Each structure stands twice: as C-alpha cells, then as structure tokens.
Amino acid sequence: MELQKERIVEELINILGSDRVITDETVLKESSLDRYRKFEQVHEIYTQPMPAAVVYVESTDEVKKVLMFANEHGVNVVPRTGQSAIEGGLETAKENSIVVDGSGMNKVLKIDKYNMQVTVQCGVPLQELDDMLREQGYTTGHSPQSKPLAQLGGLVATRSIGQFSTLYGGIEDMVVGLEAVFPNGEVCRVKNIPRRAAGPDIRHVVIGNEGALCYITEVTIKIFKYQPENNLFLGYTIDNMKNGFDALRAVMVEGFKPSIARLYDAADASLHFDWSGDKNVLIFMAEGPSGITNATAKGIDEIVKGFPGVDTVDSKIIEKWFAGLNWGPEEIAEEKLEILATNNIGITTEVSGCWDCIYEIYDNACKRIMEEVPDMTLMGGHSSHSYINGTNMYFVYYYNVVDCTPEEEINKYHNQINRIICEEVIKYGGSIVHHHGLGKARAHYVWEEYGSSFYILDTLKKAFDPNGIMNMGTLIPIKHNEKHPWEF
Amino acid sequence: MKSILGSFKVVPDLDLLSTEDWEPGDNHLVDTSFVKSMLNVFDESALEMMLKLSDMGEGLGTSIKLNGVTIGNKICDNYLKTLYALGFDRADRIESDGDVLFEPGKTTAIMKDYIDRNEMPDLIIMGSKSADNASGCVPLFLAEELKIPCVTSVINMELLENDRIRVTNLYDGGTQIRDIQGAFIAVIGDVPGTYLRVPTLKDRMKRGKKEIVPVSITSEDRTGAHTLVNSYPVIEKREGIIVSKEDLYPFYLKERMMKL
C-alpha cells in the first residue's frame, strides 16, 4: 500500500528536520518538471504528478537514510543538484515523489595539485569550482553551456560534456573516483587511480545513470594547467555543410586536438553572427602550451584551407563571441519573457553519429522537420564535439506555438521533432542522445537505441533498483504507448 | 488609415561586451564591430506595435500598408527581410554616405528626405532612443520638420473606426489616453515584454527572400538648409538681489535669528 503524502513528509522531517523538508506548493510545482517542458514552465502550467516534498540533504549519511526510507516504502526519488536538466530527468513521474536536492553538499574537499585532481561534494557549482581553480592556475577543462548553473553531481549523473571536450574529453574522461549511495543504503566509494584492469570499469555504472540507479554524493575529477595566454582562435566560413563535416573529420583524423572544433550551419550561425550570411561557419580553438597551440593552429589552418569554398574570419571576432556563450539565470529569465510575448520557443536536441552518416542524419532530419512539423521559424544546428570516428550534431530549432494550449505544445511540436530526429539517427546507426541524457524525453526510444544491449541496462536497473524507486521514467519509461510512443 | 511608417535602428548588443572591451579607441568610440547586432529595443516595440495595429485594421476591415526604414549597412538587410516575411509592404535601407551616429540633425534630414520622396504616411512610429546614441532627439526633430504632432512615451495604441487611434502614453507620473486623428509621430517608450513576432520559415521562403536595394540619400543635401549667422550669449540671471556684507545682518538676518 502506498504511503500517504503526510506520512512521507512526517518521516522525512524525522530524518532531516523540518527546515530541510519543503512542502510549499509553489516549490513543489516548480520541482515537478525541468526545462524539457519549457513552454509549460514559462506559462507556469504544471502537468506532472506533484511531489510530496523537496528535501535538502547535507551529508552522505542523510542521503542514505532518505533512500533507505524511500526504498522500504516504494516512494519514487528524484535526485537533483543544479536544476539545469533539459530532458525531463527531473520530472516527478510519480505522485508523491521525493525530490532529493544535494546542492547543500557544496564543499570542495581536496585540491590535489600534485596528482592533478580535485575532490568535491555533489552540490559544488562547476562555475565556482573552475573560477577557484583558475585563480590558482588550473582548470577542470569542463565547460558545458549550463556551467553557470550546473553542479558536479548532476554533471556526472547526466554524462555531460563541455565546450572544450575535443581536448579534455567528456565528464567520463575526467572522473577519477566517486562516491554513490544506492537505494538499499549501500555507500560505495570508487578510489582515485589513473587506471585499472580489475574487471569492468564500475565508474561507468554510476556515470550517466541519471539518478535511475544511485545518488552521486562525491566526485573526484582531473584538473589541468590553465594557460589562456596561449589560446589561439581560428574561424572560417565554408560554403557546404558536407565539406564542413569533412574538414572536421580531417582535423581529427590527422591527430590534432583543438579544445574547440565547431561547425555551424547557416541557420544556426545566423543566431550568433551578423557576418556569416548564408554560409556555414567553422570555429577552432587551440589551447595548452604555446608550442602545441601554435602547431595545432597552423596544422588546422592548412587542413581547412585545403577545402573548397573556405574564407577566413578575423579570429578576434571568434574570441569575443566565445566569451559570451554560456547561459545563466539572467538569460533564462529573459528567454521566459520573450517566449511569453512571442509564443516562439527554441529547443535543442543533440545526437551523434560516425563520420559516414552524420551529414545524412543532419540533412534528412532538417528536411523532414521542415516538411512535417508546422510553424517552424528556424531549423539548423551545429557540431561541437568531434572524435576520431565521428561527431555530434546539435539540432537547434524554433517554432511558433499556434492554436494550442501550453499543455498541448509538447506533443504537437517538441516530441514530434524529437521523434523525427531519433528516427533518422536510428536509421543510420547513430545515437539518439550525445550528452543531454535520455531523461524521460527520449526514454521512449531506449529500445531502439540499445537494441540487444538493452538487456545490460535493464539488468542494471533491476539489480540496483529492484523496488523501482530511483527516478522512475528516466532511462526506461514507466508507461509506453506502442502505437503512439511520442505522445506523452 | 492607409499606411504606417516604422523607423528602426540596428545596434550592437552591448550586453555581449565584456568589461575589458569598454575601452575607447583612437576615434573615441568603443569598438563594437565584433558584437552581434540586435534591433534597438524601443524600435522593436515600435515594429511590433505596427503589426498589432495592422491586426486590428484587419478586424475593422481596413488594410494598412506597413513600411519600415532604417539607416545603416548590409547588416540591416536580415532585419529588413524579416519585416518582409512578417508581411511588411516595403522595407528600405537608406545607405547614407555620412556618418550619422551622434548626429540627430543629419539623421532627421535624411528621414525627412526619404519621406518627401515617398508617400507621407498616416502614422510614423519610432522608438524613443537608441542604445548606442540615446539622444532621443530624432523623433522630435522630425516632427518639427514635417510639421506634425508628436506624442512621446507611447506605451499602447489601439486602432478605432474613422481612422482614429487611441494612444496611451506616460505623462507626468501617470498615463494619458487620447484619441488622435490625422498624421502624427508616435514615439514608443519603455514597454517591457514586447518583442517582435517571429515569421515562420515558410513565410521567409515566400516573402522574405526579396533583395534589399539600398536607397541612397546624401546627408550633405540638407546641411545648407540652416546656416549659423550669429550667436549671442544667453543671459541667465537668478531671481535675487545682491546684499552687501554690511547690510546682511542688520537688514536680513537679525530679525530671523531673533525668532529662532
């Protein structure tokens, strides 16, 4: 029998004290969703089941107690830190869930400059950590666009990636060790070591679990020397997107590791630059010791200029533009006003694919969306994370919301666009999600994404969360409409 | 009402400038050449207000021509194409040979010349000032040149029957609402939360591909219209008298101090 809300709240107060158990209605409503339902959010419409409480934990022991309580009574738990999620990962898919907020666990525990790693609690904001490290001549190298908001627990849980990933890697390359609490109360610590071959890398059970398997309480990540004085920016316009992808590939295949390697199509470029016109834009940054940055910039310049239809852009423009790329609370607040005034909303969906199919994924998805989805006002995208064997594609799209209520918007537009993108990606063998996380938004395509390997994910979920309390609906849907999988 | 002319300016998005960038160069100007442009916020409100008036006109069975004009370079062309995509009948860029930043007189002269070459609109809508100059003078100067009234700090307009417009503007700590008939300039003030609506891709394909051919107007054409012939200092006397120090206490302070 399910616990009543009042009983849940009472038990949580017994564990944490009343000052850290929030039941204010406005807080509960705002905590029932994330930016996946942006249109509902700006209209302050809340369609998801209401949580019972938002609780603020301040220690691993408190996380353990809350999880054990929830596990015993079958209460859904949604782990949360920076609240920058955008794929429904923070939605409370079940009535009377407990949102467990770790932002109070915000201590930097150890900066180890000799071993080049820093250990932090899950609620440490990345911007603050990086600012502190930079003052001392170091950096995390991790710079997602959500940097002003995001905290380390969520960044690891979503398998996030930053703008300098081509040099520093994604979060999975940065995590050294961690601590996580499982629903049965087990507190597991993975020690800090450079590498080991003692069985599978169990860190990867935790990294990217999106709160569906455990609660991350502590993370150790690598740090790097911060040498901005050596940064070199390169910018180009290029006529043809296919050539743009090929230029990116050539840079990666030849062994160069710029910290930034980006290709913007003309539509997405028009959001950022006045000078791009109907051209696509290539941007690179070389970072590190001066010998390396000079050689990297020179090598990239030679490669890119070998492609047809390339013109050089003043690097100062690129440098200045890049400094203003991240989004903080002010930008989000302004976006809300603009959406309310214009009924025009911008969303992103990011995917990945190998070099031999990424252009087809991009081109087909864009064409289909413009043909099949009404009221589109912009359709484009950019590649921002490249590898030796492929790259990502970050679709950027805007549409006017016409003749529908805020609650109807997600099925009329957003989910249909996601469906088309995922269909094209699966057709070509790419991944339906590069770095935002499956969340609940694309969880309905998890079987197509995993194929036969779904068995591994499913078994992990059943093993670590047998009572089904960890962020239900994330990674694997609770309910799935076979006939209309994209209407939820 | 047959036509509305909206004048707008494309300005650099100054929020994108970092603290270090706010350094004047040799020309005493801050370099904003690398900064993304935007519609001046007051002009954006003005353009959206024009579209709302046009929507109201449709409701009243009146078709209103919307015309837009800006003075600037090729960067403005995307904004003009957006206006076409939104249904504007004409969207012109005036390519002036003179530098008109910080020159409201020249800007006014160019605008007057442009209006003289085309049909006088029934209503001119402009933002109150621009982000990069902020003189706030052009609408008032233009009204004087055109010899038509000017209503400032307009926050709302409503189209009524018989070609009247109900204008709400801020005035002396409150708001005024007046019904106006006849040509005038509406100067749009601070209307928070107004943004220009966004045309669909299909509208852009259908209407937004029109080539922008700049209109050339030389600013020197009007410099001879006014010639300085003489100047005199303005005498500004205070209302008061000069009291000598000998008279100060016995005749002015003594009595007052005894009352304290």
Cβ distance of B199 and A377 shorter than 8 Å: yes
Q: Are residues A211 and A249 in the same domain?
A: no
Give the domain-ending residue among A286, A302, A323.
Answer: A323
Structure tokens that stand for B89 in this block: 């009948």
Alpha-carbon span A235 to A304, nearest angstrom: 10
CATH code, A384 = 3.30.300.330
Q: Are A336 and A449 found together in one domain?
A: yes
- Determine, yes or no, domain membership for A166: yes
Q: Looking at chain B from residue 223 to 252, which residues have their Cβ under 8 Å from any Cβ of chain A?
A: none
Q: Is the same domain home to A426 and A447?
A: yes
Structure token pair of residue A210: 């999106």
In a domain, A250, yes or no: yes
Residue A482 placed within a domain: no
User: How do the pLDDT tens digits run along chain A, 488 residues long?
Assistant: 689 999 999 999 999 999 999 999 999 999 999 999 999 999 999 999 999 999 999 999 999 999 999 999 999 999 999 999 999 999 999 999 999 999 999 999 999 999 999 999 999 999 999 999 999 999 999 999 899 999 999 999 999 999 999 999 999 999 999 999 999 999 999 999 999 999 999 999 999 999 999 999 999 999 999 999 999 999 999 999 999 999 999 999 999 999 999 999 999 999 999 999 899 999 999 999 999 999 999 999 999 999 999 999 999 889 888 877 767 778 888 899 999 999 999 999 999 999 999 999 999 999 999 999 999 999 999 999 999 999 999 999 999 999 999 999 999 999 999 999 999 999 999 999 999 999 999 999 999 999 999 999 999 999 999 999 999 999 999 988 777 766 66
Q: Residue B220: its pLDDT value, please?
A: 54
Same domain, A10 and A62: yes
For residue A285, how far is the Cα from the chain centroid?
22
Q: Distance from A155 to chain B by nearest Cα, in Å?
A: 26
CATH number at residue A244: 3.30.70.3450
Q: What six digits make up the tokens of B233?
A: 């200092």
Whether B197 sits inside 8 A of A342 (CB atoms) is yes
Same domain, A163 and A263: no
Same domain, A361 and A448: yes
Tokens, residue A435: 């770095």
Give me the residue from B75, B198, B202 closest to A344, CB to CB: B198
Distances (CA, A) of B113 to A245, B4, B66, B90, B106: 49, 17, 19, 17, 11
SS (HEC) of B26-87: CCCCECCCCCCEEECHHHHHHHHHHHHHHHHHHHCCCCCEEEEEEECCHHHHHHHHHHHHCC
Looking at residue B97, its pLDDT comes to 61
ipTM of this predicted complex? 0.84
Please tell me which of the candidates A316, A337, A376 has its beta carbon nearest to residue B34: A316
Q: How far is A443 from chain B (nearest CA, A)?
A: 30
Chain A residues with CB inside 8 Å of B37's CB? Answer: 274
Residue type, A279: K
Among candidate residues A40, A71, A101, the one where a domain is terminated: A101
Rounded to a whole number of angstroms, the distance from the CA of B122 to the nearest CA of chain A is 27
Q: Which two tokens stand for residue A393?
A: 């594609």
In sequence order, what are the residues at sequence separation of 6 or more whose Cβ sits closer than 8 angstroms to the Cβ of residue B260?
A: none
Q: What is the pLDDT of residue B223?
A: 45
**Is A295 domain-assigned?**
yes
CATH (domain of A58): 3.30.43.10
Distance CA B91, CA A343 (A): 24
Query: Could you count the other beta carbons within 10 Å of the beta carbon of residue B57?
Result: 18
Instruction: List the domain range (segments joined by +) for residue A405.
Output: 329-464
pTM: 0.89
Closest Cβ opposite residue B34 in set A320, A341, A342:
A320
Of A270, A323, A341, the CB nearest to B18: A323
**pLDDT value, residue B1:** 74
Cβ–Cβ below 8 Å for B18 and A272: no
Using CB atoms, which residue from A273, A342, A370 is nearest to B195? A342
* Contact across the interface for B198 and A337, Cβ inside 8 Å: no
Which residues in A have their CB inside 8 Å of a CB on B?
270, 272-275, 314, 316-317, 320-321, 323-324, 337-338, 340-342, 344, 370, 375-379, 398, 400
Residue A164 resides in a domain = yes
Which of A320, A331, A376, A397 would you mutate first to test chain B, the one with the most B CBs within 10 A? Answer: A320
A458 shares a domain with A340: yes
User: With an 8 Å Cβ cutoff, are B18 and A273 in contact?
Assistant: no
CA distance B203 to chain A (A): 9
How crowded is residue A48: how many other Cβ atoms within 10 Å of its Cβ?
A: 22
* CA nearest neighbour of A467 among A62, A70, A8, A65: A70
Residue A340: which of B16, B34, B193 has the nearest Cβ?
A: B193
Q: Do B193 and A344 touch (CB under 8 A)?
A: no
Number of domains forming the structure of chain A: 4
State which residues of chain B have pLDDT below 50. 221-224
Which among A272, A314, A337 is the nearest to B193, CB-wise? A337
**A451 and A369 in one domain?**
yes
Domains by residue range for chain B, with CATH: 3-259 (3.40.50.620)
Q: Which of A323, A355, A377 is the last residue of a domain?
A: A323
Name which of A43, A233, A273, A274 to mutate to probe chain B: the one with the most chain B Cβ atoms within 10 A of its Cβ.
A274
**Structural domain contains residue A431:** yes
- Answer yes or no: do A219 and A245 share one domain: no
Question: Are residues A368 and A308 located together in one domain of the fold?
Answer: no
Would an 8 Å CB–CB cutoff place B195 in contact with chain A?
yes
- Do A297 and A313 share a domain, yes or no? yes
Per-residue confidence (pLDDT) for residue B224, from 0 to 100: 46
H/E stretch holding A252: helix A241-253
Asked if A339 and A449 sit in the same domain, the reply is yes
Do the Cβ atoms of A166 and A284 come closer than 8 Å? no
CB A329 within 8 A of CB A149: yes
